[in-house]
Chains A and B, each alone.
Chain A
Amino acid sequence: MLGLNRAISSRWLGVLFVVALLLLWQGLGGVMQLTALPPVSEILAVWWRVLISGELPQEIAPSLGRMLAGYSLATVCGIAVGTFMGLTRWGYHLLEPLTELLRPIPSPAYVPVAILFLGLGDEMKIIIIGIACFFPILVNTYSGVRGIDLILIKTGETLGLSRALLLRKIIFPASLPYILTGMRVSLSIAMIMIVISEMVAATSGIGFYILLSQRSFEVHKMYAGIFTLAVLGYLLNSLFVAMEKRVLHWHIRND
């Protein structure tokens, strides 16, 4: 009886916990009457209102656009450079020290530099996101490519595959599990960087919206922006995991 209960409820335990915390917030907000902590029901009401009025969606769209641009840039460059580093000894020796030097720099540190070169526009944000997302993809790609079993490569060679075919048919798919791991890490980094860059310099976007709401004492809207980020992050990650499962159906995950 107890075991059955546990089996049914444990699935929803996490969801219930979130609901409980929101209720606690609701209670605290009502009792304390702080400007900084409005009751959650009021926030949800405002969230709904700005969602259907289009006020919030019109901030989400540019953020998503910039993220997508920067993230795609990072993916293409990361896979290309990573494959190059993984396949050639000299490429690896040429770029590995530089990679290890640049990688530890927290990406927000690049923001002032990017503003100097690119101004306050979209290019700056795209480049910032690109740089931040580049390194996890790069590092995972080249460790994936370097880890490919030699027998797999030789199989391609003995079947007469050209270099292009070898890349497309063997090297790329074989390192795909690693590449996707890097891309998943970068996805959350992209979220972080879009918010940071929009808070520093922007006239649109979800980061801008959160900061502006706070500055104009529209605390409800500020929280609505943050809630939006949570939902957006969750959706993007779920989408990614579903895509990964489809693409890597042949791959047995160890984790």
Chain B
Amino acid sequence: MAAIPVSARRPELRVRELRKQFPAPTGTLVAVESVSFTTAPGEFLAIVGPSGCGKSTLLQMVAGLLLPTAGEVTLGAQPVTQQRFDVIYIFQQYTKSILPWCTVRENVQLGLEARGFGRQEMLELCREYIHLVGLTSFGNYYPRQLSGGMQQRVAIARALVCQPKVLLMDEPFSSVDAVTRVSLQELTLRLWDQLHPTVLFVTHDLDEAVYLAQRVLVLRKSPSVVLQEHSIDLPYPRHPLRTRELPQFLAHRHALFEAVFSQGELPELYH
């Protein structure tokens, strides 16, 4: 039941030898050395790595929000910078990315306004997507009246209502409590199954990566390169508890753990 659409409408995302360096007091700081990968249309790809391995930098370059020093990102035949409407980024810091002066509906509407939708159309789409993320009666609420998890739901609705071909999620659930995180993970899988965008999901939570994704890339410590690639052959729909108890799940998590922590994160364990 994996949602892998074969629609030609959803082009593949190709990241080629992406590099980012910043000027630093002592010469240059290479945040991302050279990262390449390709996603199939509608694929759910997780990216994990030690903290500070340049995951956010990488993802912002994929989104076209940050100019790479070298390399390119293409969606189908064209560079991603020319298809800004097709790629949307969801930030970890929902408190900074949800507009506090806008209601839930006005927040969700933002991308539609940019795309020139009519008033009535916007209203209907907003209602539909606000309902889809489970905030049906909260359309006229202001963000400060919502919990963190609900605010992140607003961010998800605001992105998905634009029908992006690629959804980039940067540690989206790392600042919510454990219970909320599980429900947001379920929401993410459900919406992915319904709408099948390509998802790039950056996380430092290995459990989360294995649970959600079809494939996991392990990045090396900064300057980052792709260290390993794991295909997660667990069937969908996944179950928040039962899937996590499967021997394959544990095996995948084990392998990822080794890949990440063999990089000197826990030296006493490996040396």
Which A127-160 residues sit within 8 Å CB-CB of chain B?
149, 151-152, 154-160
A233 at the interface (CB under 8 A from B): no
Interface size class of B (residues with CB under 8 A): 20 to 34
Contacts of A152 in B (CB 8 A): 96-97, 99
Looking at A117-125, A161-169, A222-230, the stretch in contact with chain B turns out to be A161-169
Q: A-side binding surface: helix, strand, loop or mixed?
A: helix
Identify which of A149, A152, A159, A162 gathers the most chain B CB atoms within 10 Å of its CB.
Answer: A159
State whether B114 touches A165 (Cβ < 8 A). yes
Shortest Cβ distance from residue A250 to the other chain B in the assembled complex, whole angstroms: 4
Interface string of B71-90 (1 = CB under 8 A from A): 00000000000001101110
**A220 vs chain B, min Cβ distance (A):** 49
Most chain B CB within a 10 A radius of its CB, from A160, A174, A250, A251: A160
Task: Determine whether the beta carbon of B162 is less than 8 Å from that of A154.
Answer: no
Q: Name which residue of chain B comes closest to A168, CB basis.
A: B113
Is B144 close to A, CB under 8 A?
yes
A-B pair count, CB < 8 Å, reads: 59
The answer for the CA separation of A252 and B143 in the assembled complex, in Å, is 13
8 Å CB contact of A160 from B84, B91, B99, B100: B84
Interface size on A, residues (CB 8 A): 21
A173 at the A/B interface (Cβ < 8 Å)?
Answer: yes
Select which of B99, B100, B158, B162 is within 8 A of A169 by beta carbon: B99
| In the complex with contacts A158-B65, A158-B88, A158-B89, A250-B114 CB distance below 8 A | no
Assess whether B48 is interfacial by the CB under 8 Å rule. no
Say if the beta carbon of B93 comes within 8 Å of chain A: yes
Q: A169-B99, A173-B101 are in contact. Are A157 and B65 (CB under 8 A)?
A: yes
Q: Which residues of A contact B115 (CB under 8 A)?
A: 160
* Cα of A26 to Cα of B159 in the assembled complex, Å: 69
Does A196 have its Cβ within 8 Å of any Cβ on chain B? no
**Are A151 and B96 in touch, CB under 8 angstroms?**
yes
Residues of B within 8 A of A165 (CB): 113-114
Whether B110 and A250, one on each chain, are in contact in the complex, defined by CB atoms closer than 8 angstroms, is: no
How far is the CB of A93 from the nearest CB of chain B, in Å?
Answer: 19
Q: Does A170 contact B (CB under 8 A)?
A: yes
Given A169-B99, A170-B99, answer yes or no on A151-B114 (Cβ-Cβ < 8 Å): no
With a CB–CB cut-off of 8 A, which chain A residues contact B114?
Answer: 159-162, 165
User: Which of A158, A162, A173, A252 contacts B99, CB < 8 Å?
Assistant: A173
A84 to chain B, nearest CB (A): 22
Contacting B at CB under 8 A, from A171-195, are: 173-174, 176
Contacts of B162 in A (CB 8 A): 159-160
Minimum CB–CB distance from B106 to chain A (whole Å) comes to 9
Report which A residues bind B (CB closer than 8 A): 149, 151-152, 154-162, 165, 169-170, 173-174, 176, 250-252
Other A-B pairs, 11, CB within 8 Å; known A155-B99, A159-B114: A149-B96, A151-B96, A154-B60, A156-B110, A158-B65, A158-B89, A159-B158, A160-B162, A169-B113, A173-B99, A250-B144
